[in-house]
Structure 1
Amino acid sequence: MKMLMTLTAVLLSSQVFASAPEEVVIKDFEYTNKYELALRQTKHSDKGKAFPVLLEYAKYGEKLAQYMVGTFYLSGIGTEANPTEGLIWIGTALEQRTAEWQRTYDNITAKLPDDQKAMLNDLVKKRIELYGVQAQKMSCRNEAAVMGSNKRYHVCTKIRDGAQRVTVVKYPNS
């Protein structure tokens, strides 16, 4: 696994510096519709078909997509199993501070040696630099789970402009 993590780090760093990112503005309806269709598809038996769209939205900073892409990589659903990529995506999704996701991540990484945990943390930081809340023009806040409820959840969403558009930052070759 250590060699796999090292290889992933080298590949990520070479892709990031290859060319400059591009900011793309998308109408909220178009952005949301495609994402929601992919999320619905994950509830069916052929959920692996949603992987490419979920990966696209994970790169747009969507935390649920990042978590799902991570679990798909861990399980090999819709893609070849890749535990390192899975853990990096789940670690990136943790910007949303969802307790269930944190437990999953902690349970999986609990038995990793300290040097591998440190390497994984570095890879997660690099991924957050590209696909995190700040990089992908998102905001996080505490919201009520149900109207009238006192229970709050930390939720990260795309920032919409006055014309109900979102901005995504795309990195070539990623």
Structure 2
Amino acid sequence: MNKLFISMVIILLLHIEPADADNTSEIWVFEQALDVGMSALRRQDYEAAFDQLEKAAKLGNKVAQYNLALLYMGGSGVSQDYAQAYLWLNVAAEAREKTWRKLLDQLHNSLSQDQIVALTPHVNRYMERYGARAQGVNCSKRPSIGTKIKVMQCTKRPAPRES
């Protein structure tokens, strides 16, 4: 009986492991790239921060998207690019963080109407690729470990399995 049960478990694992491995790997990158990127930011290693935050941002991490926008705005670790900052701020703003939204509004108000019109299709494309729904991300403000101060934290759901 035990041998039969173990055999069945092994067969099941062989069939589901690859998709789960991809999901686990993606979730790991989602979390670790943010941690490494934020650590690089604190060290003012902007190029390393950019590389890691971009990875996490493309997986839907709102904190990474916001900080990536700041790097683009300041030209830190990357050429200054207000258009890219605007795109990433729009996607990050899905998290409904007031300070992020305020910065987006300020940047929006500094752009001409022609620039906004030109950027709108790109904003839509970024939302479709890197938005919360597309990436299976949920963000909320929660207390940091050991403090009552709430910070934005995001989690990524495993991608649905294909049949």
On whether the aligned pair clears a TM of 0.5, the verdict is yes
Structure-1 separation of matches of 2:150 and 2:42: 25
Indicate the residue corresponding to 2:65 in structure 1. Answer: 66
Indicate the residue corresponding to 1:56 in structure 2. Answer: 55
Indicate the residue corresponding to 2:11 in structure 1. Answer: none
Structure-2 separation of matches of 1:111 and 1:41: 29
Query: Which has the larger strand fraction?
Result: 1
**Which protein, 1 or 2, shows the higher relative CO under an 8 Å CA cutoff with sep ≥ 6?**
1
Indicate the residue corresponding to 2:24 in structure 1. Answer: 26
Taking structure 1 as reference, are residues 104 and 48 closer, same or farther at Cα in structure 2, changes over 3 Å only? same
Structure-1 separation of matches of 2:38 and 2:142: 21
* Partner-residue secondary structure (3-state), 2:132: coil
Indicate the residue corresponding to 1:158 in structure 2. Answer: 156
> How much does 1:89 deviate?
0.6
> How much does 1:37 deviate?
1.9
Structure-1 separation of matches of 2:64 and 2:55: 9
> How much does 1:122 deviate?
3.0
Indicate the residue corresponding to 1:103 in structure 2. Answer: 102
The one-letter amino acid paired with 1:118 is: V
Indicate the residue corresponding to 1:138 in structure 2. Answer: 137
Structure-2 separation of matches of 1:152 and 1:36: 17
Does the 8 Å contact 1:145/1:153 carry over to 2?
yes
Off by >6 Å, runs of 4+ in structure 1: 151-154
> How much does 1:107 deviate?
1.1
The answer to whether the aligner puts 1:75 opposite 2:81 as a matched pair is: no
The answer to whether the aligner puts 1:94 opposite 2:73 as a matched pair is: no
The one-letter amino acid paired with 1:112 is: L
> How much does 1:152 deviate?
7.7
Taking only aligned residues, the RMSD between alpha carbons, in angstroms, comes to 3.0
The one-letter amino acid paired with 1:44 is: R
Q: For structure 1, which runs of at least 5 residues remain unmatched after alignment?
A: 1-22, 160-165, 169-174
Q: Between 77-86 and 34-43, report the one with greater CA deviation.
A: 34-43
Indicate the residue corresponding to 1:43 in structure 2. Answer: 42
Taking structure 1 as reference, are residues 59 and 152 closer, same or farther at Cα in structure 2, changes over 3 Å only? same
Work out which of the two has the higher radius of gyration on C-alpha atoms and give 1 or 2. Answer: 2
The one-letter amino acid paired with 1:126 is: R
* Partner-residue secondary structure (3-state), 2:115: helix
Count, aligned residues? 138
> How much does 1:143 deviate?
4.5
Query: Which has the larger helix fraction?
Result: 2
> How much does 1:53 deviate?
1.0
What's the % identity of the aligned pairs? 25
* Partner-residue secondary structure (3-state), 1:61: coil
Does the 8 Å contact 1:26/1:167 carry over to 2?
no
Does the 8 Å contact 1:92/1:128 carry over to 2?
yes
Indicate the residue corresponding to 1:11 in structure 2. Answer: none
Taking structure 1 as reference, are residues 64 and 143 closer, same or farther at Cα in structure 2, changes over 3 Å only? closer
